[in-house]
Structure 1
Amino acid sequence: MTIRSLALYACIAAIPCVSLAQQQHHHSGEGISQEALVKVGTVHFPISCSAHVQIPFERGVAMLHSFWYEEARKQFAAVASSDPSCAMAQWGLAMTEWRPFWDGMPEERRKAGIEEIDKAASLDPKTDRERRYIAALRDYLHSDPTQNVVAVRKYADAMGELHTADPSDVEAFAFYGLGLSAAASLDPKDPIASDREALAVLMPGFKAHPDHPGFAHYIIHTCDNPQLAREALPAAEKYAAIAPASAHALHMPGHIFARLGMWKEDIAVNRASVRASELAAKEHLDGVSHEMHAYEFLLYAYLQEGDDTHAREIVQDVSPMIRHLAAIPGIQNDGMYLFTSYMQVEFPSIYHLERHEWNDVLAIAEPAHPLVSSRYFLFWAQAIAAGHLRDASAADQALANAQSIYKAVAAEGSPISAEIHATFLTMKAWQDYAHHRDAEALAQLSASADEQDRVGQAEVDIPAREMYADMLLADGRPAEALNEYKIALHLSPNRFNGLAGAARAAAEVGHLDEARTFYGSLLRLTDDGHASGRPEVSRAKAFLNQQDK
């Protein structure tokens, strides 16, 4: 059985995905049908344009809230074609150029956005509210790109002022929260405090408007770190039902489920997301490259359950999947397709790192035409593997390669860019370890873990705190390792290697009841090891059998 034949929940499999040709509301024939309107969520956003474009305009805004930018763009383009004087259609087109939490605002899209928002302003919007929406986005698009954090915050403040002026304007409320959350994601010093500021807006919005697609979505992004994840669980449990036609909306709860170690729930929503992407491709909708992100989370979840068979299938299928996506017309402008080289590196790296196959990590080749962050991710993985192997030469090479592109990665905006300093400390630690400078290595890795605990941890990652515990255990310091494993498991629950390491450390210091608890959790996580042939499962069974005698 291949990963593309995995069973889905029947309710998800029944999601309709209607052909563009069935669209009845626009003369262009673009978009999705009226039947699918409720499947992307419902918003109320009155505009002064022709009455017949109100529904497609609101559909476009609902899609914006689920980051379905490609299909939202079709809706706004259809509105502009049907009512050329509609300034808010141009605002909508410009909004699709700004993609916070992804790649932000590359120069090409910024230029397109400026052209669109300037046209919106030139169309003389008819209401003060519309003029303020357009002015806020125009100020952002015309801002100095080197001052992006300030500009995003200014945009958020403008949306906040709009909502204060008219508390009934739910969309201004939602975009205010989005702006604050986007600004927090760019804060290198104290992102958790900034996240809490965003939550102070988003949580009341979600409580007042639980069926709105924006609030639930932005709460998940804001809480996508170990420190805040549990606060987003109600939003995660709700969001997929709000916009089940969106592959991204189906996937996003997985961010919180993964943070909380809820692997079965994580697997279910990402299987559903893959199915939605496949349906989108079948019906010639855009945004199908989201399936790569869903498979990324599926791979990680399967590894935590010890289900290496399904994990291996995903790794083996990544190149055929990317070839399949590459053959789709226009895919280069589609959602997550930009990150194909990142996935080509990340999938095998995570698979082999989690399974402690260090030589296999060193053998991973760079893909053709990689993003700079793809190369950096590979060097990060190779530094870790080289450290475990005490291979000083390989560790030195990985560090030299990483250092040569450090500044470029920090500016790129990829997942690993968000924790660039912590990852470099991790690499330096494993380089020291490879050189048998164990004291220096432990100090570096402890610092990396402290920083990651403070600023948050990237998705689909191996926690620095867990690696610190691994190094302590390997260095013959099981009592200290046990303490670090406990902290790591508190922040990243139900990780296979965290539980296995904690059990082994507890056993070595004679804390047999604790060892029993951790090994028992590991066996429950892996369905009593039925799906896993890893030695940690055999060790758990042997320990528990011995204790039962």
Structure 2
Amino acid sequence: MKTQLILATAVFLYFASPVQTQEDNHAHAHHEIGGLGKVSFPTSCPASVQPAFERGIALLHSFWYDEAKAQFENILRKGARCSMAQWGVAMSLWHPLWDRPDAETLAKGRAALDAAADHGEKSPRESAYIAALAAFYKGKDRSDHESRAAAYARAMDEVHLQYPQDREAAVFYALALLGAEPRNDPGFATRKKAIAVLEKVYAEAPDHPGVAHYLIHSYDRPQLAAQGLAAARSYAKIAPAAPHALHMPSHIFNRVGLWQETIASNLASVAATRKSAMKHMGDASHQLHALDFLSYAYLQIGRESDAQKVLEEVKSLTGMEVEEMGYMLTELPARYALEMRQWSIAATLVPPPNSGAFPSATIYRARTIGAARSGDAAAARENLTKFEAFLDAGRKEHPHYPAKEKDAEFQEAVAWVEYVEGNVDQAVKDMRAAAAMEEKDGPAQLAIPAREMLADMLLEKNRFAEALTEYEGSLLVAPGRFDSLYGAAHAAELAGKQDQSTRYYAQLLKNCDGAPHSERAELKQARALIAKR
């Protein structure tokens, strides 16, 4: 449920001239594409449209799909005989890291590839690109997204092997791998394969936008994130004109607890999105994704008033995508109440009118946890039933969504209901299982880790040493989280481990150094205890 971006470009005029092939140069000269990085994708299209085509490729690499599509369509509208522009249109229609194209989109993609097969002169290399993408759009089982995505990845592997000097083949192959990543992929085998391909190109072409971008996505797991810092710190510099390039580094910064850098990235992305939208150059809805990350980061460093301002700002926005707004208007208040441990408020949240199934599920999950942590077992059980019903309704619309037994967030809610009903041993067992399930891939971005919740349970039951162990485990998968740092400090203090307590309190205060006016009781306690030691 994440949005793509739009960027306007200059119009490149097509003059009726003989086709000038540039195929022999595809391994080398990379061209600066104003504010979008450097790419080189020689084609058999007329030389007059080559700059426009490469701009379209650069836009693709920053997931600016609507504007990339417009760029390729403009080439065709000018009358250029350019089969690869049709391929570019088909590439722009599928968003492999978050999208499952519907029947209408698949039909448009097939039509573009049919036109590419019949449109203008093509080299064997270009035909290979077109055929590879056809493996996705024209797969035997059009209803099986995973099979078609995997078929495309295999086909791009062949293109990469056939043209080893073609960096674009390598980069698009790596993206295809990420788009075909199995739901359960032991040891991140698919990601590591993509990383190996991308790191090689990154060493040769450090200004390529797709390389840095896809490395960030590849490393976007707690176990891998620290290795992605170099790409994260370069991508925004490579493609500063793309709002998505300004946001994406925060996927790594967020994973490693660099909250100030997360905030800076997303403020820049919001500003860039609004600037583009004012010029009718982009989709203003992209700012919602950046605001989502911004809200979470503020809550980790004691800037809760700024997190509240983000919510109020979102409420004031108009013309946004309906699905994105539905997510934001439920996720932000639910997150705020749970992160701030305002259990009674969480227990009484209400979905906005006309909320869809999944946004409503977000609210009833928060209500379940809020009621449980307020000690209201009956309300917790009732809200869990409604949470489950909305999840079931959402799965009918999105059949690929995980089943309840494989949904860590649902299992967390179940464990809290068990806890408040007095079945503490079962609650601890189930929360531990939810943590283990979650940590196979790592907690989702912007989530409260199950292991932190497990630690909370143990702390409430005066099992201080066990709680400390679990808070420290939570910090391994979600470094720098406010509640895990405070929990570890408090648990260590109660367990008589003063050195550890001091270290965690000091880290919490350091993280929150920019929030001296926060009224959070945890920070007041930390300041008082550190002052005494």
TM superposition score normalised by structure 2: 0.90
Instruction: Determine the C-alpha separation between the residues in 2 that align with 1:423 and 1:238.
Output: 34
CA shift in 2, pair 1:289/1:441, >3 Å: same
CA distance in structure 2 between the aligned counterparts of 1:466 and 1:220, rounded to whole angstroms: 26
Deviation at residue 189 of structure 1 after TM alignment: 5.1
The verdict on how the C-alpha distance between 1:387 and 1:103 changes in structure 2, with shifts beyond 3 A counting, is farther
User: CA–CA distance in 2 between the matches of 1:24 and 1:150?
Assistant: 38
Structure 1 match to 2:20: none
Contact 1:68–1:287 (CA<8 Å) still a contact in 2?
no
Corresponding residue for 1:108?
104
Superposition map of 1:407-422 within 5 A: 409=394, 421-422=407-408
Match of 1:445 in 2: 431
Matches within 5 A, 1:371-520: 371-406=356-391, 409=394, 421-520=407-506
Partner of 1:9: none
Q: CA deviation at 1:510?
A: 0.2
Q: Aligned pair 1:537/2:527, yes or no?
A: no
* Equivalent position amino acid for 2:173 in 1: Y
Aligned to 1:239: 235
2:216 to 220, 241, 251: 220
Deviation sequence 1:210-249 (CA, Å, 0-9, x none) = 1111111111112212111111111101110111111111
Q: Is the 8 A contact 2:266 2:291 kept in 1?
A: yes
Q: Is the 8 A contact 2:33 2:54 kept in 1?
A: no
1:229 aligns with 2:229: no
Inter-CA distance 282–245: structure 2 relative to 1 (3 Å threshold): same
Write out aligned runs for 1:167-182 (5 A).
167-182=164-179
Distance between the aligned counterparts of 2:99 and 2:366, measured in 1? 23
Instruction: Report the Cα offset of residue 177 of structure 1.
Output: 0.3
The verdict on how the C-alpha distance between 1:531 and 1:305 changes in structure 2, with shifts beyond 3 A counting, is farther
1:523 aligns with 2:520: no
Distance 1:255 1:106, change over 3 A: same
Is 2:49–2:80's contact at 8 Å kept on the other side of the alignment?
A: no
Answer whether contact 2:69 2:93 (CA < 8 A) is retained. Answer: no
CA deviations on 1:21-66 (whole Å, 9 max, x unpaired) are xx35248xxxxxxx99320112111111122111111101110011
- Aligned counterparts of 1:268 and 1:448: Cα–Cα separation in 2: 33
| CA deviation after TM superposition for structure 1 residue 352, in Å | 1.3
1:265 maps to 2:250: no
Distance 1:416 1:482, change over 3 A: farther
The one-letter amino acid paired with 1:346 is: E
| Paired amino acid for 1:67 | F
Contact 1:415 1:459 in 2 (8 A): no
Alignment counterpart, residue 252 of structure 2, candidates 246, 256, 259: 256
- The Cα shift of 1:19 comes to 7.1
Q: Tell me: CA distance 1:220–1:408, structure 2 relative to 1, closer, same or farther (3 Å).
A: farther
Task: Give the structure 2 partner of residue 11 of structure 1.
Answer: none
> Does the 8 A contact of 2:509 with 2:526 survive in 1?
yes
Match of residue 25 from structure 2: none
Question: Which moved further from structure 2: 337-346 or 455-464?
Answer: 337-346
Equivalent residue for 1:25?
A: 12
Q: Contact between 1:409 and 1:417, CA under 8 Å: does it hold in 2? A: no
**Residue of structure 2 equivalent to 1:351:** 336
Q: Which residue in 2 is equivalent to 1:37?
A: 33
1:177-204 CA distance string (max 9 Å, x none): 00111222x4235373332232222222
* Residue number in structure 1 paired with 2:189: 193
Task: Please give the root-mean-square deviation of Cα atoms over the aligned residues, in Å.
Answer: 2.4
Task: Tell me the CA shift for residue 145 of structure 1.
Answer: 4.5
Code of the residue aligned with 2:450 in structure 1: it is: A
Distance 2:35 2:481 in 1: 34
Report how far residue 370 of structure 1 moved: 3.4
- State the alpha-carbon separation in 1 of the partners of residues 71 and 420 from structure 2: 55
Quick one: structure 1 residues 215 and 79, their matched pair in 2 at CA, closer, same or farther if it must change by over 3 Å? same
Conserved 8 A contact 1:373-1:416: no
Q: The residue matched to 1:493 in structure 2 has which SS?
A: coil
Q: TM-score, normalised by structure 1?
A: 0.88
Q: Distance in 2 between matches of 1:64 and 1:318?
A: 28
Q: CA deviation at 1:175?
A: 0.7
Whole-angstrom CA distance in 1 between matches of 2:358 and 2:88: 30
Which residue in 1 is equivalent to 2:67? 71
Provide the C-alpha distance between the structure 2 equivalents of 1:415 and 1:52, rounded to a whole number of angstroms: 44
Quote the offset at 1:398 in angstroms: 3.0
Structure 1 unaligned spans of 5+: 1-16, 28-34, 327-331
1:57 aligns with 2:42: no
Mapped partners of 2:381, 2:394: distance in 1: 19
Deviations 1:360-416 (A, max 9, x none): 223332234434332232233222222211222332233223333445645767998
Deviates more, 1:287-296 or 1:411-420: 411-420
Shift of 1:484: 0.6
Residue number among 125, 129, 142 corresponding to 2:125 in the alignment: 129
Query: Which whole-Å deviations, capped at 9, do the CAs of 1:123-169 have from their partners, x for residues lacking one?
Result: 26521111111111112012335432232122112112112111121
Q: Deviations over 1:501-549 (max 9, x none)?
A: 0010001110011101111111111117504110001111222233x3x
In structure 2, do the counterparts of structure 1 residues 443 and 70 end up closer, same or farther at CA, with 3 Å as the change threshold? same
3-state DSSP of counterpart to 2:355: coil
Unaligned regions of 5+ residues in structure 2, if any? 1-5, 15-30
For the structure 1 residues 26 and 532, does the alpha-carbon distance in structure 2 shift closer, same or farther, using more than 3 Å as the test?
A: farther
1:12 matched to which residue of 2? none
Determine the C-alpha separation between the residues in 1 that align with 2:235 and 2:399.
24
1:340 is aligned, of 325, 328, 347, to 325
Question: What residue number does 1:5 align with?
Answer: none
Structure with bigger helix share is 1
Give distance in 2, aligned partners of 1:502 and 1:402: 30
Q: Which amino acid aligns with 2:124?
A: D
2:489 partner SS: helix
Moved more, 137-146 or 231-240: 137-146
Which one-letter code corresponds to 1:426 in the other structure? E
Q: Aligned pair in 2 of structure 1 residues 411, 460: CA closer, same or farther (>3 Å)?
A: farther
What SS class does the counterpart of residue 228 from structure 2 fall into?
A: helix
Q: Which amino acid aligns with 2:448?
A: I
Inter-CA distance 413–310: structure 2 relative to 1 (3 Å threshold): farther
* Equivalence for 1:139: 135
Whether the 8 Å CA contact 2:257–2:481 is kept in 1: the answer is: yes
* Cα distance change of structure 1 residues 417 and 99 upon mapping to structure 2, 3 Å threshold: farther
Superposed CA deviations along residues 404-457 of structure 1, whole A, max 9, x for unmatched, are 344564576799869962112111111212212111111111001111111222
Secondary structure (helix, strand or coil) at the match of 1:399 reads: helix
Counterpart check, 1:183 vs 2:175: no
Which residue does the alignment assign to 1:94? 90
8 Å CA contact retained: 1:411, 1:417? no
The question of whether the paired residues in 1 share the 8 Å contact of 2:285 and 2:324 is answered with no
